[in-house]
Amino acid sequence: MALICIGKRASGGRDPLKLSAALFAVQLLLSLCLATTISAQQSQDYSVSANHVLDDKGHIYHIHGVDRSSFERSPSGDGHFTQTDFNNIAAWGANTVRIATNQDFLLVDSSCFAPSYLVGYLDPAVMAAHKAGLNVIFDLRWNDGGVAGTCATGQQKMADARSLKFWQIMANHYRDDPRVFFELYNAPQDISWGCWLNGCTTCTLAGCKTWVGMQQMYNTVRLAGFNNLVIIGGVKEAYELSGVPNNLPSGFNIVYAAHVHSSETPSSWSNSFGFLTSTYPVLATEFGDDTCTSRYVTSALNYFDAPDGYAGNRMGWIGSAWNDPGNCAFRSIIADWNGTPDAMGQPERDRLLSYKKPPPPPTGLVATVQ
């Protein structure tokens, strides 16, 4: 399908109502143009089979990439979502970029609703990422706890009822782009497994709040026609997946996520998330060292490539984070925006590039002909 985007210069004597309608029409047309451009670039459909993600040819596909923040803090981000930025990420050997979001920039009844958030900022980032050969994971990072008329400034215990509207909008918009994946909530915390799956109400001295579960969010995006990969993180700030087998979401094309930071010891990896790799695909959507050194990162990479020593259960991973160059407090993996790796980023870049190399020749006895 071809769509030609044209514009007509407005004449003098503008009517405010007509101008408003015209602006809405222009935004709608731009959205259609962007959606058509994105759709035209697609060539891969991903699915889940047993404990693996498969590409459109049925081959095992490992998701590897980096995390990008700032669209949760500002509708326009930090200014580093250009084609050059995504090309620099791809040059590391990444195939995916994970982008954080804020639901209140998308919801019209919030105090910080940004009309251009989706079409003016997220869409161009998706197109630039795809042009660089990257898939995009959108994760819901900040939410308002279910209070309309406010603006989210951080994470909550879990997603709220307004998060369902956010995901409905996102799913309607990106359902025809098979290279966009959704991570339903960044870091669930201080909730039970029952609440994680089906939602609940929790109360403190400050009052009560109601949370929605992963099943409700999953159902929302599927009902909107989004059949691409859905990524679901566990409890304890997404580190713990031990309760998944007894609280299994119902659905298809689900990948489970773990956040692995140096506060969690390697001896706990197997029981917390590694065990699940034998039955379901698992992706570390955040990992890093709070001291920004390489030792923990290298150990994590080795584990992801062969959980509990078994390469057949290999995990995908997203390095955290391609942000704030040189800022250890943010667990930055870059020394500058050109993509120069820092101490923590070097092993990630080296590992990504190693995946692109052909396997080494076999070693051992070599038969010779005399």
Q: DSSP states of 89-144 as a string?
A: HHHTT--EEEEEEEGGGT-TTSTT--TTIIIIIIHHHHHHHHHTT-EEEEEEEE--
Nearest to 183 by CA among 284, 304, 333: 284
pLDDT at 329: 84
Q: Specify the residue for token string 């980096």.
A: 66
Give the best-scoring range by mean pLDDT among 99-108, 288-297, 352-361.
Answer: 99-108
Instruction: List for the chain the helix, strand, coil content (%; round to 5).
Output: 35, 20, 45
Least confident of 13-17, 241-245, 311-315: 13-17
Whole-Å CA distances, 4 to 34, 38, 128, 130, 171: 11, 14, 20, 21, 25
In a domain, 361, yes or no: no
pLDDT at 359: 54
In a domain, 30, yes or no: yes
246 vs 235: CA distance, rounded Å: 13
pLDDT at 5: 39
In a domain, 370, yes or no: no
> pLDDT tier at 290 (50, 70, 90 boundaries)?
confident
Give the best-scoring range by mean pLDDT among 6-15, 21-30, 300-309.
Answer: 300-309
**323: CATH:** 3.20.20.80
Q: Cβ–Cβ contacts within 10 Å for residue 366, how many?
A: 7
For the segment 185-205, the average pLDDT, to the nearest whole number, is: 97
For the segment 2-11, the average pLDDT, to the nearest whole number, is: 37
Identity of residue 224: A
Question: Which of helix, strand or coil describes residue 274?
Answer: helix
What's the mean pLDDT when you consider all of the chain? 88
Residues 6+ away with beta carbon under 8 Å from 290: 261, 262, 263, 331
Is a pLDDT exceeding 70 seen at residue 22? no
208 vs 278: CA distance, rounded Å: 38
Report the percentage of the chain scoring pLDDT > 90: 81
In a domain, 362, yes or no: no
In a domain, 137, yes or no: yes
Question: Which of helix, strand or coil describes residue 211?
Answer: strand
Tokens matching residue 133: 């050969």
For the segment 183-211, the average pLDDT, to the nearest whole number, is: 96
- Which residues make beta-bridge pairs with 317? 64, 284
CB 197 within 8 A of CB 250: no
CB 61 within 8 A of CB 281: no
In a domain, 367, yes or no: no
Is a pLDDT exceeding 80 seen at residue 13? no
Structural domain including 187 reads: 20-356
Q: Specify the residue for token string 């040189």.
A: 326
Tokens matching residue 64: 């590897």
pLDDT at 29: 46
What pTM does this model have? 0.86
338 vs 85: CA distance, rounded Å: 7
Number of domains the chain contains? 1
> pLDDT tier at 1 (50, 70, 90 boundaries)?
very low
How many whole angstroms from its chain centre is CA 210? 24
Question: Which of helix, strand or coil describes residue 216?
Answer: helix
In a domain, 165, yes or no: yes
297 vs 291: CA distance, rounded Å: 11
CB 85 within 8 A of CB 91: no
pLDDT at 296: 95
Instruction: List pLDDT tens digits, range 209-268.
Output: 999 999 999 999 999 999 999 999 999 999 999 999 999 999 999 999 999 999 999 999
CB 179 within 8 A of CB 197: no
Question: Which of helix, strand or coil describes residue 352?
Answer: helix
> pLDDT tier at 24 (50, 70, 90 boundaries)?
very low
Report the percentage of the chain scoring pLDDT > 70: 84
Is a pLDDT exceeding 70 seen at residue 7? no
> How is 314-328 classified by DSSP, letter by letter?
PPEEEES-S-STT-G
CB 160 within 8 A of CB 145: yes
14 versus 148: which is more confidently predicted? 148
Is a pLDDT exceeding 80 seen at residue 71? yes
Question: Which DSSP state fits 278?
Answer: G
Dihedral sign of CA atoms 156, 157, 162, 167 in order? positive
Nearest to 72 by CA among 33, 48, 46, 104: 104
Whole-Å CA distances, 146 to 159, 163, 237, 241: 8, 8, 19, 26
CB 96 within 8 A of CB 318: yes
Tokens matching residue 7: 């514009």
In a domain, 219, yes or no: yes
